[in-house]
Structures are given as structure tokens and as C-alpha cells.
Amino acid sequence: MSASAEATVLITHEVGLHARPSVKFTKLAKSFAAEVEVAVAANGPWFDAKSIVKVMAAKAPKGTVLHIRARGDGAEQAVGALVDLVQRDFDEDRDHARSA
């Protein structure tokens, strides 16, 4: 039986899940072997979290509850890492601090 995990997380980043945040999100999702999917509604539609085109197409603004699920090796770690990234506002504050 394959491992699976799912979670929800509130997007608090000012621009939501758009350009830079989407790149960071998909890059992190790709670092896991598990199949990772994301949705902006609990009942879907679900789409590949490793696809920058599909993630950006979600156009999830600030205040959206993001639904994340994964199946396969590292499913729990993948979901946990993605939730953590969203909760850290995609590390945008850290990135701006470095460039300031």
C-alpha cells in the first residue's frame, strides 16, 4: 500500500500563489518522489503541483485555503514541506531582506 498525506493551508502572502511563489512551490514539490497535487477547493479540481503552468493557472489569491495531497514515497514529508513553505509566505520576506 502506498503512503498518502493531505493538508490544508491558508495563503497569507500578499500576492497569493502567483509568479515567484508558484516557482518556489513547484520547485519544492518536484524535489519529492511522491505524486503531489493541489486544489483551491476541497472537492477539486486537483492538479499537478509539479507543473508551474497548472499552479499559476490556479490564480489563488491571498486568503485562499490551499488543499495539498500526495501519494507515494515521501508523501508526508512533501505535504509538510509545502505547507511550511506557504506558512512562511514562500520565503519572500527572507528574499527581500537579502536584496535590501
What residues are labeled active site? 18
Residue whose cell numbers read 520576506 = 93
Phi-psi region of 69 (alpha: psi -120 to 50; beta: other; left: phi over 0): beta
Element at 62 (helix H, strand E): none
